[in-house]
Amino acid sequence: MHRLRFTFPLLVLTGSACSTSPSASPTPASATNAAITPADLEKRLYLIADDSMMGRETGSEGDFKAAAYVASEFKRLGLEPAGDSGTYFQTVPFWRVAMDPASAIRIGTTTLAAGRDFIETPPAPMRSFEGVEAVFAGSAADTTHWIDAERARGRVVVVDVPAGVPLRGRPLPMARLQSAAALIIVGLEQIAPEQRARIVEGRPVPNPTINPNAPTALYLSHAAAASLFDRPLSRLAPGAAGATVNIHAGFTATPVAFPARNVVAILRGSDPTLRGEYVALTAHNDHVGFDHMPVDHDSVRAFDRVIRPMGADSPVREPTAEEWTRIHSILDSLRRVHTPRLDSIRNGADDDGSGTVSILEIAEAMARGPQHPRRSILFVNHTAEEAGLLGSAWYTDHATVPVDSVVAEIDQDMVGRGLRTDFPRGGTGAASPTYLEVVGDQKLSKEFASMLEAANARQPLPFDYHQVTDEAQYISYPDLARVSKMVYDAAMSIANGDHRPVLDVAKPSNPHAPCRQ
């Protein structure tokens, strides 16, 4: 899928500890050519999406290394640094909010361990409860007979989620338990191991503040909950008293191990009058990291090719009998080539290694071309897109060039896959191999859209998301080169125009307002 996101004056193009990525040693990017070529894009992407980057999660060493690589290329090409304090980097503040490692529950002589026996969610401040009586509220299978607020007051209230009763999507009347000191939900088995790991180890967030009013809510396993009462939960009546409980649990915020960084550079325009205006070319360098539970790479690959060709963007559903046959046929063909391979790293080759290497190739073509564009080109490689578009939001609020001097932006995201099977429309058919998704190009300026359409028409051929299978080996490099050349052509056309694209409607005054197409 090629996805182009256009915003105006700012446009967007979007088209594991264990891994199966080839242990390639790509030729250093310094050996790349001035022209935009599939071979050069491949060299760059095998660097960006290598296993050593560990999925490039915001605030991780891998994303730090990816940003350093992008900056080194900008420097090698002679682009001006346009980040903080004369550097190529703009640091975006991030913290990791995780369960405090000292969190523990003690019931009599039994001490429960965070992650193995219990987790806490949502994030709440560190709190301690000593010698608090446990009381059984009732079963999630029958909420009509739960205890009332007075019986819950000041106690550790226990709710059972029996086997076969789904926890997800099941509304529970928790309001009547708000007077409790703490809440224990016995149903940890229904929390996926990966989700547990993310709670224990934490996720990068832009704000270290932990809601002081968040309740202390803990998920216990049924095995761990056995020490709370003198009989199985299934034999308890609502209101039954249990053991006294000691709880010391909560979340803490610490700075991320490695700074999260936007990478910003300028190719200065050749026209003394227009060089103070900019065409921005952007992409994001981060991804979603790695899983703690490795999976069989080829099984995921076979399943996704049939059922989830768009990865996390495809709806979750069960395969039909005919689809299972196709899945097993693909897997059998892979098994004939090699044995099962465990994989846990979400390499993010398409999302958005493809956009990152594309702007590097475009930067090289422009910097080494016979004539620089008349307007300046602003390159911004954002961090923290996967955390909620936060790197781009930070740059908007802390722009290193006047925002009004940016006449247009083209952002590229997921532009590395163009096979007919990569984007089945509505799950019922394949897109054309010349398919290109463009978002926002006509939102504020019809002239802007027409310039992009003209650039596309000049091309010789006009035009797996968040999974461990999003690897460099599955990218269509001819398609990636074709999109990159189209963006290069469009950016040059805008940068060399006699006037900036004309706005048909007023530019929104609030950059944080919801985007409406």
Which of residues 23 and 310 earns the better pLDDT score?
310
What does pLDDT average to over the chain?
A: 84
Domain boundary, last residue among 204, 233, 253: 253
Residue 12 has pLDDT above 80, yes or no: no
Q: Are 102 and 128 a contacting pair, CB within 8 Å?
A: no
Q: How confident is the model at residue 5 (pLDDT cuts 50, 70, 90)?
A: very low
Do residues 272 and 406 both lie within one domain?
yes
Q: Which residue has the higher pLDDT, 351 or 510?
A: 351
The 10s digit of each residue's pLDDT in 168-201 is 766 666 788 889 999 999 999 888 887 888 898 8
Q: Say yes or no: 247 and 262 in one domain.
A: no
pLDDT of residue 15: 43
Confidence of residue 2 (pLDDT cuts 50, 70, 90): very low
Shared domain for 150 and 271, answered yes or no, is no
Residue located via tokens 């429309």: 425
Per-residue pLDDT tens digits for 432-464 = 555 566 665 555 666 666 666 666 566 565 547
388: in domain: yes
Does residue 307 belong to any structural domain of this protein?
no
Interatomic CA distance for residues 363 and 78, integer angstroms: 10
Does residue 162 share a domain with residue 38? no
The answer to whether residue 196 sits within a structural domain is yes
Backbone angles phi, psi at 452, to 5 degrees: -70, -40
Q: Is the pLDDT assigned to residue 43 strictly greater than 70?
A: yes
Beta-carbon count within 10 A of 127 CB: 15
CB atoms inside a 10 Å sphere around CB 169: 5
Asked whether residue 130 falls in the same domain as residue 218, the answer is: yes
Contact 154, 179 (CB under 8 A): yes
Nearest to 279 by CA among 388, 371, 359, 398: 359
Of 416, 413, 415, 412, which is closest to residue 476 (Cα–Cα)?
416
Is the same domain home to 131 and 246? Answer: yes
What CA–CA distance (Å, rounded) separates 83 from 90?
5
Give residue 435's identity as a one-letter amino acid code.
Y
Mean pLDDT across the stretch 346-372? 93
Indicate whether 241 and 364 sit together in one domain. Answer: no
**Six token digits for residue 382:** 């954002």
Residue 58 lies in a domain: yes
Residue 106 resides in a domain = yes
pLDDT band, very low/low/confident/very high, at 17 (cuts 50, 70, 90): very low
77 and 172 co-located in one domain: no
The answer to whether position 223 is within a domain reads yes
Indicate the pTM of the whole model.
0.80
Alpha carbon 125 to chain centroid distance?
A: 26
In a domain, 125, yes or no: yes
Same domain, 88 and 191: no
Q: Compute φ and ψ for 119, nearest 5 degrees.
A: -135, 165
Q: What is the pLDDT of residues 111-147, one digit of tens each?
A: 998 888 999 988 999 999 999 999 999 998 888 889 9
Q: Which two tokens stand for residue 74?
A: 């900008």
Separation of first and last alpha carbons in the chain = 20
Task: Give the 3-state secondary structure of 427-441.
Answer: CCECCCCCCCEEECC
**Which domain CATH number covers 459?**
3.40.630.10
106 and 224 co-located in one domain: yes
Q: What's the pLDDT score for residue 48?
A: 94
Mean pLDDT across 206-221:
92
> Within 25-60, where are the H helices?
38-48
Paired residues of 91 in beta bridges: 261
Domain span holding position 362:
3-21+29-94+257-293+346-495
Q: How many whole angstroms separate alpha carbon 241 and alpha carbon 485?
A: 71
CATH code of the domain in which 240 resides: 3.50.30
DSSP secondary structure of 447-486: HHHHHHHHHHHTSSS---TTSTT--GGG--HHHHHHHHHH
Q: Which two tokens stand for residue 456?
A: 């596309």
For 51, other C-beta atoms within 10 Å of its C-beta total 21
Question: If phi over 0 gives left and psi between -120 and 50 gives alpha, with beta otherwise, what is residue 250?
Answer: left
Residue 304 belongs to a domain: no
- The last residue of one of the domains, among 253, 276, 308, is 253
Mean per-residue pLDDT, 467-485: 87
Looking at the fold, whether 231 and 286 belong to one and the same domain comes out as no
The reply to whether 36 and 113 lie within a common domain is no
User: Could you report the per-residue pLDDT of 362-377, keeping only the tens digit for each?
Assistant: 999 999 999 999 999 9
Domains identified in the chain, total number: 2
Report the 10 Å Cβ neighbour count for 119.
23
How confident is residue 416, by pLDDT bands cut at 50, 70 and 90? Answer: confident
Using pLDDT thresholds of 50, 70 and 90, give the confidence band for residue 277: very high
